[in-house]
Amino acid sequence: MSTSGERRFNALVVEDSPPMRKMIVFALSRVRELDVVEADDGVDALRRIAATKFDIIITDINMPILDGLKLVKRLRADENYKDVPIVIITTEGAAEDRQRALALGANAYITKPIQAQQVISLVREILNLD
């Protein structure tokens, strides 16, 4: 909770790989305006979304049960999430998945292996943080 009255943002990180998820959360912890919530996969993400309104969602594409593409599609069909920024995590080689995600309404992407500064800069830019 901010003590200075600055605006807080809720971020959701959806990633089935625990080390990858931990590293993204760690990187985002450097953005002091953010409160970060983790989800193990697309289904877990939908549960979290039902409980909290997020300002930005960062999701992997390849996940079991409900993958990142289906999650993007579900979010864009939801009135509460049709305009919320979505960043997808992908590999450089997965150009087709990336294009599909962007066509479904994702706003941006980051490629693996991820760099902390890349994630931080992108999120700050999307949320218009100084």
Partner 1 sequence: MSADDPRQSLQRKTDLFLREFFEKGEMLVKELITENDRLRSQIDTQEEPPPPTKVNRDNMVELLMLRVAALERECDEIRRIAGNVEEESGGFRSRLDSLEYEHYHLASMFVAGSQFHSAVSFDEVLRTITEILLNFVGIGTFTVFMVDEERQILFPVAREGGSVEEVGEIVLTGDDAGPAQAALLALGRPWKNGDPFFQIGNEIINLPLVGGTRLVGVARLESFLEQKEGFAENDHQLLGLISEHAGIGIENAWVRAHAQEVPLQRQAIEHLVGA
Please give the Cα distance from 17 to 105 (Å, whole number): 24
Give whichever of 16 and 55 is closer to partner 1, judged by the CB atom: 16
For the bound state, the minimum distance from the C-beta of residue 124 to partner 1, rounded and expressed in Å, comes to 13
Spatial CB neighbours of 67, under 8 Å, sequence gap ≥ 6: 42, 61
For the bound state, the minimum distance from the C-beta of residue 12 to partner 1, rounded and expressed in Å, comes to 19
Give whichever of 55 and 60 is closer to partner 1, judged by the CB atom: 60
Give whichever of 92 and 96 is closer to partner 1, judged by the CB atom: 92
| Binding positions for partner 1, rule: CB under 8 A | 17-20, 22-23, 26-27, 30, 91-93, 111-117
Angstrom CA distances, 40 to 21, 43, 66, stand at 8, 8, 10
